[in-house]
Structures are given as structure tokens and as C-alpha cells.
Structure 1
Amino acid sequence: MKKYFAALATTALISAAPFALAASSTDLTVTGLITPVACTPTFPGGGVIDIGKISSGDLNETSNTLVGTHPIKLVVSCDASAKFALNPIDNKNGTSTGDWFGLGLTPADEPLGFFFPKIVHVKDATTSLDAIKSDDDGSTWVKATDAQPGYLLSFATTGGTAPIATEVVTFDFEVETYIARADSLTLTDEVTIDGSATFEVKYL
């Protein structure tokens, strides 16, 4: 009965307005640009931070505990000058107790904590640059003080907020690692800290 009513209503509309019909097809267009430039991100000293063993008795009961502060350097090298950004991806998405990168879950599926790379310095060769970030895929940019999932990370001339092209750029980070408040965790057995992030190059 419902199908008949829908067909009837459509017939009435066509009869009343025979010249107001919508087009029976539409187009999908795919655009883009292939760049001959290739940029490669690397952690020269290795991309591993080892916090070591932490006693559960040393954790704050009702607040996050800072368990490590480690410097790390990220270098992006291109075979020609290019404008690009880094897309930081949280490989442990859903396990963070903050707005940064997760550290995995306890065996009881409790978020273990988070880590975030604070930006200490950005430079192109010997020239200091300003870090900038975007949460709308590069349409707008603001100053950045850290790398954060969901935000593109790029660089601009000092005082600017527009990405610039370069061949080599170095990000000096200080990575802070926090364990969630102890009263939110089940710590009767050893728990592995298992944070992981990927920094993907996105050409602008």
C-alpha cells in the first residue's frame, strides 16, 4: 500500500509540473596533483623511547603522573624544495586519557595514559622557523606548541602562519609521558606501556 501511494504522489507531481524535473544523472569529478618531489621523515636517533620500569606505588593516586621527559629529533628531507605538513597519527587511538597519543590499555581495558611531543625548536638548515598546525586539512593555520593527533603540523617563517617550502626541516621535540591516575587503573600485574605514533608526510 505504501509503495502504491509513493508512485501515485510522484505521478501527480509530474502531471502538475512537467517542466520542473530534476536531471536523471550527475557527475563525480576526481582531481589532484602528482608531485615529482619525495620527502622522507626519519628519527635520526631512533624512534623509540624507553621509560623503563615504574613502580605502581610511585604513581599519583588522584592525578596523572609524569614518568618521563625525553628529547627526540625528527628530520624531514626532500629531494627538492617542497611545501608539506606532517600528519601525526595515534596508533593507539582510543587509549589516551588526554588529547594526545595513547599508551595502550591495561588488561582490564583501562586507558593507561598518554604522551605528547612538545615542540622545542624548528629549523630549516640554520634558520629558525615557527611551528604551525591546522585542524581543517590545511585551510587555516595557527601557532603550534606540540604535535597532536587530528592536527596537521607544518612550519612558517618567524611570525607567520602560512606554510613555506623547504628541502630539509628539523623538529626538536621533548616528549612527556604521563600515566593515568592510579585509582583509575588495575595494577595487580605488570602492565606494558605501549604508545605508538606515526608521522606521515602530506604534500600541500
Structure 2
Amino acid sequence: MKKRSLILLLGSAFIGVPSLAAANSVDLLIAGRLIPMACTPTLSGGAVIDYGDIPVASLHPKEAYTLEDRNVNLTIACQEDTALGIRITDARADTKPLLNREIPRPSQHSDSNLAVARTDRQTMGLGLDAASGKLGVWWMHVDRENLKASNSESEIVSEAKLLYSTNNGKSWSRTTTSPLDPHYGGADSTTFAIKSIAATSPAVAVLHEFPSVVGGAINARGSLTVKDDTRLNGKGVFTIYYQ
């Protein structure tokens, strides 16, 4: 399932008289590499969500501070019609506070109608403060109503439904969980894809569009040590897996 290269080696030994085999035989190696069709992912906004300056005084002493939602669109453009899925890896997993134990459960932002993360499978880390305190968590929604995949003939070949697989694409199911559960099948093992019209499988397309919304929360002020400027440092890695 994962993008990979294959090297084909075919050997042939011609065996003659045993005493002359070493001198009269030679191996023929035929090498080659099979490479998948190239696809390029891009994220809107330069792949950066910047919340700017957040005064420590605005943080609650005992409650999480919910950040406003930010839109980010993941677009994958392929050279040819391709079936694919994506995985989201938390590059700051060691900084993620556990909900209700290391960070209070976030409440919904006043300007948002989207749910906040409810389980640790949905969250990713935001970095550490100077005393190694865990700054907070972020999560991600996919705008399922606007999921879209189109083929090389500019035809829509998808339904506005999100699929997931926890077994490397051997089987797929629909997910309506929001925020996403990137760690549902274990750390970095859940793959998401846009559903094709024909079956419960990834759409075969040259353009795969995942409009998304990122939310997050900063830990309670009483759990942090902020004496100098401290930057949020979340990082998510989106990896393409070819089907």
C-alpha cells in the first residue's frame, strides 16, 4: 500500500561439467525499478497556521484556552488518475498532554459550531514550555460536504464521503467522526481517503481535495511556566499512501 520501489533481480546459472562450473558459468542480473505515479500534496496558507501573540493573562488558571478555528485545505495533484489515501503523523507526539489528566478538556470556542476533541486519538501536541510543560493540543476536521476528487477528464469521480482504513488499505469503511481520529488504529496507522462513486474504496483521480478545519487548545495557565516568549510548535505531517 505504501509508496515503494521494487528492484527485480533475475539470476541464471548454466551448469556444465562440475569441475569446470566455476570457470564456465556467469550470472546475468537484470535490474529495474517500478515507481508509482507521482502525486504532489500542497497545503493552503503556506502550510502555516499562526495564532499570533496570545497574552498569558488571557489564559484561565485552571481551564484550557480554546483557540479559534482556522481553515486549511489539503490538495493532492497527480500526473495520472491515481487511487490514494493520506495519513497524519504527529511530529510533536511527545509533547501532547492527555485530556482530563494533563490538560483540562477543552470547551467549544464561542465562534465555532464544530466539536472539540473528546479523545486522545483525536489530538496532537503543540510543543513544550521552558520547563518542559506541555503547551496544549490541536485537532483537525475534514469538511466532508466539500470533499472532491476529479479525474483526468475533469469529471467528478467521488462522493462527499470520507473513508478510513486501519489495515493498510485491505478494507475501507466510512467515517463520520469529527474531529478526525488519526490514531484510531494505533499511532500513525489510520489512512483516510475520498470515497469513489463506484464502490467503498478510494477515488481514482488526478486531483484529490480535502478541505479542512484546524482547532486547538492551550493548557491552563497553572500548568505552564511562561517567563519568556514561548512559541506554539505543533507540526503535522501528511503522507500519501498509494492504493
TM-score of Structure 1 vs Structure 2, range by shorter chain: 0.7 to 0.9
Gaps of 5+ in 2: 1-32, 98-119, 151-155
How far is 1:74 from its partner? 0.8
Given the superposition, is the C-alpha separation of residues 54 and 35 from structure 1 closer, same or farther in structure 2, using an over 3 Å criterion? Answer: same
Given the superposition, is the C-alpha separation of residues 34 and 191 from structure 1 closer, same or farther in structure 2, using an over 3 Å criterion? Answer: same
Q: Choose 125-134 or 54-63, whichever is displaced more.
A: 125-134
**Does the 8 A contact of 1:90 with 1:102 survive in 2?**
yes
Q: Partner of 1:104 in structure 2?
A: 127
Cα separation, 1, equivalents of 2:225 and 2:200: 44
Given the superposition, is the C-alpha separation of residues 192 and 44 from structure 1 closer, same or farther in structure 2, using an over 3 Å criterion? Answer: closer
**Which structure's CA Rg is the greater one?**
1
Q: Partner of 2:222 in structure 1?
A: 183
Are residue 164 (structure 1) and residue 194 (structure 2) matched? no
How far is 1:159 from its partner? 11
Cα separation, 2, equivalents of 1:169 and 1:42: 11
Given the superposition, is the C-alpha separation of residues 65 and 137 from structure 1 closer, same or farther in structure 2, using an over 3 Å criterion? Answer: farther
**Does the 8 A contact of 1:40 with 1:77 survive in 2?**
yes
Are residue 129 (structure 1) and residue 152 (structure 2) matched? no
**Does the 8 A contact of 2:149 with 2:194 survive in 1?**
no
| Structure with greater strand percent | 1
Any idea what the Cα deviations from partners look like across 1:97-143, whole Å, max 9, x if unmatched?
Answer: 24322111111111111111211131114554211223333334331
Are residue 116 (structure 1) and residue 150 (structure 2) matched? no
The percentage of aligned residue pairs carrying the same residue is 24
Cα separation, 1, equivalents of 2:166 and 2:96: 19
Q: Partner of 1:5 in structure 2?
A: none
Are residue 148 (structure 1) and residue 193 (structure 2) matched? no
Q: Partner of 1:198 in structure 2?
A: 237
Structure 1 counterpart of 2:135, which letter? L
Given the superposition, is the C-alpha separation of residues 160 and 197 from structure 1 closer, same or farther in structure 2, using an over 3 Å criterion? Answer: same
Q: Partner of 1:80 in structure 2?
A: 80
Give TM-score scaled by structure 2 length.
Answer: 0.63
How far is 1:35 from its partner? 4.4
How far is 1:51 from its partner? 0.3
Residues paired across the two proteins, number: 172
What do you get for the CA RMSD once the two structures are aligned? Answer: 2.4
Gaps of 5+ in 1: 1-32
Any idea what the Cα deviations from partners look like across 1:25-60, whole Å, max 9, x if unmatched?
Answer: xxxxxxxx9444111101143101110111112123
Cα separation, 2, equivalents of 1:154 and 1:83: 9
